[in-house]
Amino acid sequence: MLKELKEILGKGMNINNKVLKMKKVSEGRFKEEENFVFYIDEKPIFNCKLFYGRKPYYTEWVEIFGIRDKNYFGSEEEKNIIFVFYKYLEPGAKIFIEYEYDEKTSKDLERGIPEIISRMGSLLFKTGFIYIKNLYFPEGFLEGGRKLKAEKPLSEKDYFKEKEKILKQFELKYEI
């Protein structure tokens, strides 16, 4: 499904009367991976890696990093772009979003706030992603900066099951 998004964004997509477009920068490390720069109205906003999956072993994933404008965080553009990725990722696919320059998310996580209720984590969850994790400690030097990882559920049932589990955890944790 990411290949379909690649075709659409190669031509441009209207989001809130602005044109979202991506341009290929290079091939990736694997034959299924490509590197892009995303633009809104011809202004570069972030870098992105798309991995189209390697069936039956690996699902698709997308990584957003190198965000150029701090005003992007918390904006309508951010919400709409995350929704676009949610719509075009296949069930079970992952999204990785660097939060290095997202001051609110960084401070939330540094203070020990759970990923799911951090600024970016709650946006991902409200969009429909689950299993949100903080990848604060890269392991192999190629992962880049700090980022959140989230997965598109395999089904709506999985989303609601995870939501119920999260609500119970917070209920028990803060019941005192």
Q: What is the mean pLDDT of the chain?
A: 90
**pLDDT for the residue 136:** 74
Tens-digit pLDDT profile for residues 154-171? 999 999 998 898 888 777
Assess contact for 120 and 148: CB atoms under 8 A.
yes
pLDDT over 60 at 174, yes or no? no
Q: How many other C-beta atoms can be found within 10 angstroms of the C-beta atom of residue 9?
A: 21
Structural domain containing residue 147: 2-173
121: Cβ contacts below 8 Å, ≥ 6 apart: 105, 108, 114, 115, 132, 148, 150
Tens-digit pLDDT profile for residues 28-72? 888 999 999 999 999 999 999 999 999 889 999 999 999 999 899
Find the mean pLDDT for residues 130-140: 80
Domain tally, the chain: 1
Secondary structure class of 51 (helix, strand, coil): strand
Q: What CATH number is attached to the domain comprising 109?
A: 3.40.630.30
Tens-digit pLDDT profile for residues 137-156? 656 666 678 899 999 999 99
pLDDT over 50 at 4, yes or no? yes
**pLDDT for the residue 129:** 95
133: Cβ contacts below 8 Å, ≥ 6 apart: 115, 148, 149, 150
